[in-house]
Amino acid sequence: MILKLEGISKSYQDKKALIDFTATLKEGVYGLLGQNGAGKTTLINIIAGILNANEGRILYNGINVKKMGVDFISAIGYLPQFPQFYKNFKALEFLRYICAIKGVPEKVGAERIAKLLEMVNLSDVANKKIGTFSGGMRQRLGIAQAMVNDPGILILDEPTAGLDPKERIRFRNLISKFSKDRIVLLATHIVSDIEYISNEVILLREGILIKQNKPTVLMEEIRHKIWEVQVDAENSQMYLDKYSIGNIVFNEGHYVLRIISAEKPCAAAVPIAPNLEDVFLYHCEAGASR
């Protein structure tokens, strides 16, 4: 299963939202990282066919998706950013409806719905109206609806936004479960979501693909660029102004700063192990100022 994106570009009037985006995606979870407005939703919408690209083409298993038409759409499962669904529908009824519009045969659909409801832990509330669901329940229903057609490509746009930590972990585990034998594209700016489950990270900045690699590789790339510095209140402002700061902790009258910098910021700075958040800051924030 290969999804190839070749030279995708998209502009809105004067603004270039996506510039010559080229990537190859195979089975696994791909974390799509980028600041707000970096082009994540544009890319997702183009893959899903909601938007037309100005240039470029997409190949699915070597076939141009334009030629595949409905077959390609049938291979996608999509969970948009803030879905409300139909509040007056019951969960089960809603999934049956999604099966109907996705053209999933009734019998197959019924089996899949039962399995999915079980997986997302909504079997008990299958006959409750969606209007009564909490945010987490609604998101779990959201991923279930995206999965009813057993898609080869699962696209999730900010799926954990607004969820409590317990629900987030639950949701992450669900994504891991669903990622077997399919491409999962997970757009988020909650880096920890990706850190644990993604096989590869796609970093976008101002519409340009700046990195695509395994998280460990990306982290390795910035080893020796992450420093911990202990400073007093007076000097802290100087560091805040000068460097990209990953974290600040106030500890016994001192500030402990996590600094992202190619050079050692001061003699007392201690190199520490990078995480994916540092990668994001290094490329997107520090990179932007470079």
Partner 1 sequence: MKIIGYEIRKNYLKRYLIVIIFAFTLVNVISIYGYYETSHVFSTEKDDSWSKAFWDLYEENYKGEITIEKINRLMEIYSPLYQACVVERTFNTEYDPDTFTGYEFGDYRMLDLGFVRPMEYAYTYREKALEIANNAKQNMIFFSSIDNVYQYRSSLKIASLYEGRQINNFYNTEMYDNLFSYDFSSFLILLTVIVAIVPVFVAEKETEMNLILSISKKGGKKTVRAKIASACFFVTGICIWFTITDFFAFAAFFGLTGLTNNLYALRDFMLTPLDITMWEYIIVSAGVKILGMQAVSAVILFISSLFKKALLPYVISLGALFSMMLADELATTKHFNPFDLIVNRELFRHTNLIRIMDFPVHEYVGVILSVALFFGVFILTTIRVNKNNAWLTGGRR
- Shortest CA distance to 45 belongs to which of 8, 87, 97? 8
Long-range CB contacts (within 8 A, 24+) of 58-66: 58/3, 58/4, 58/5, 58/6, 58/8, 59/2, 59/3, 59/4, 59/6, 60/2, 60/3, 60/4, 60/152, 60/153, 61/1, 61/2, 62/2, 62/4
Binding status of residue 256 toward partner 1 by CB under 8 A: no
Binding status of residue 208 toward partner 1 by CB under 8 A: no
- Shortest CA distance to 159 belongs to which of 135, 177, 178? 135
Q: By CB under 8 A, which span of 46-54, 114-122, 180-188, 277-285 interacts with partner 1? A: 46-54
Size of the residue set binding partner 1 (CB under 8 A): 37
Give the DSSP letter of residue 165. Answer: H
- Of the residues 3, 5, 32, 65, which one makes contact with partner 1 according to CB under 8 A: 65
Binding status of residue 267 toward partner 1 by CB under 8 A: no
What residues are paired with 270 via a beta bridge? 228
- Of the residues 7, 37, 69, 105, which one makes contact with partner 1 according to CB under 8 A: 69
- Concatenated DSSP letters of 198-230: -SEEEEEETTEEEEEE-HHHHHHHTTTSEEEEE
Beta carbon nearer to partner 1, 20 or 93 = 93
Query: Residue 75 CB, nearest distance to partner 1 (Å)?
Result: 10
Binding status of residue 107 toward partner 1 by CB under 8 A: no
Query: Residue 15 CB, nearest distance to partner 1 (Å)?
Result: 20
Beta carbon nearer to partner 1, 126 or 210 = 126
- Of the residues 21, 30, 72, 282, which one makes contact with partner 1 according to CB under 8 A: 72
Beta carbon nearer to partner 1, 171 or 239 = 171
Q: By CB under 8 A, which span of 17-25, 28-36, 90-98, 171-179 interacts with partner 1? A: 90-98
Binding status of residue 42 toward partner 1 by CB under 8 A: no
Query: Residue 62 CB, nearest distance to partner 1 (Å)?
Result: 15
Strands 28-34 and 183-188 turn out to be: parallel
Query: Residue 100 CB, nearest distance to partner 1 (Å)?
Result: 5
Query: Residue 110 CB, nearest distance to partner 1 (Å)?
Result: 13
Asked whether the beta carbons of 219 and 274 are under 8 A apart, the reply is yes
Binding status of residue 160 toward partner 1 by CB under 8 A: no
SS3 176: helix
Binding status of residue 196 toward partner 1 by CB under 8 A: no
Binding status of residue 57 toward partner 1 by CB under 8 A: no
- x/- mask, partner 1, residues 111-130, rule CB under 8 A, reads --------------------
N-term to C-term CA, the chain: 37
Query: Alpha helix (H) ranges present in the chain?
Result: 40-48, 65-68, 70-73, 91-101, 106-119, 135-147, 165-178, 191-197, 215-221, 233-242, 276-280, 287-289
d(CA 150, CA 139) in angstroms, rounded, equals: 18
User: Where do contacts with partner 1 occur on this chain (CB under 8 A)?
Assistant: 46, 48-52, 65-74, 76, 78, 80-89, 93, 97-98, 100-103, 145, 149
